[in-house]
Amino acid sequence: MPRFIVMIRIFVLGMIAVLTFLAAEPTLARTPASPAPTVRVSVADAFGEPARAGAATSTAVRTATLLTVLSIGPALVISMTAFIRIIIVLSMIRHAFGMPETPPTPVLISLALFLTAFAMLPTLESINHDAFQPFMNGAIGIEEALDKASAPLRDFMLRQVRDDELRLTYELSGKPVPNAPAEVSLLQLTPAFILNELRVAFQIGFVVLLPFLLIDLVVSSVLLSLGMLMVPPASIALPLKVLLFVLIDGWGLVLRGVLGSFR
């Protein structure tokens, strides 16, 4: 679990670094080369130029906000993106083979993070264009940036969640169900989204497990008919599973199916 959290933090840090570079690239291109400025501290700088002090404060606030988002980034990736469905399906494939450690967990997490970025690309582009870059340029404040950043996430989760999950979360929280999608709160929408992702992931996993179960049954029946009771069926079924999965391009089919399930 610590390695899992570290990898997600590295992924979030890389996303923030890329977005920061994209936001600063036009400014760097327009700024001519100039010698290093001379720093002067005086009473006039402290009391006579409030605009400069305000600019410094806004920079400090933006830096603190980015650090805060980075600290809660793993929780946001896990609970509000396509990561849940993808990682559960990939984990079920590993257990269907009968190899709980192959592929290794870091490999599955890395693949799930990249697939999450592919599935969330329109949402991430909207957040970058409407919230992140204006906030980094100082054009909007924190509250406005949070509102504009949460809107694409809310739209993405609302497209995936069903009315039953939403009704359940509002019933558990003791609040009435809103009449319009814009009135849905993230506090109730997020657990409903997680429940929906678990449901869909288990449905996909059930379809994935069926062929492997069939191979296990066939191998067990053949060994029983031959009287080879002392031979473990898993030792013979495992190569057959791997061979069948490679021949039908199983990884490609599963990844296409998982990404295609995000309507």
Q: 201-230, pLDDT tens digit by residue?
A: 998 888 888 888 888 888 888 878 877 777
Cβ neighbours for 231, distance < 8 A, ≥ 6 positions apart: 223
Determine the Cα–Cα distance for residues 12 and 3; give it in Å rounded to an integer: 14
pLDDT at 25 over 50: no
Task: Kindly tell me if the per-residue pLDDT of 26 is higher than 60.
Answer: no
Sign of the four-CA dihedral 87, 88, 89, 95 = positive
Three-state secondary structure call for residue 24: helix
**Which residues does 65 contact at the CB level (< 8 Å), separation at least 6?**
135, 142
Q: Going by C-beta distance under 8 Å and a sequence separation of 6 or more, which residues neighbour residue 194?
A: 79, 84
Could you report the per-residue pLDDT of 5-21, keeping only the tens digit for each? 555 555 555 555 444 54
- Asked whether 174 and 143 are in contact (CB, 8 A), the reply is no
Lowest mean pLDDT across 29-43, 51-65, 91-105, 160-174: 29-43
In the predicted model, is pLDDT for residue 121 greater than 80? Answer: yes
Average predicted confidence (pLDDT) for the chain: 75
pTM for this structure?
Answer: 0.68
What is d(CA 115, CA 120) in angstroms, rounded to the nearest whole number? Answer: 8
Peptide bond connecting 103 to the previous residue in cis, omega within 30 degrees of 0 = yes
Residue for token digits 């089919």? 253
In which element (H, E) is residue 204 found?
A: helix 186-225
Is residue 33 pLDDT above 80, yes or no? no
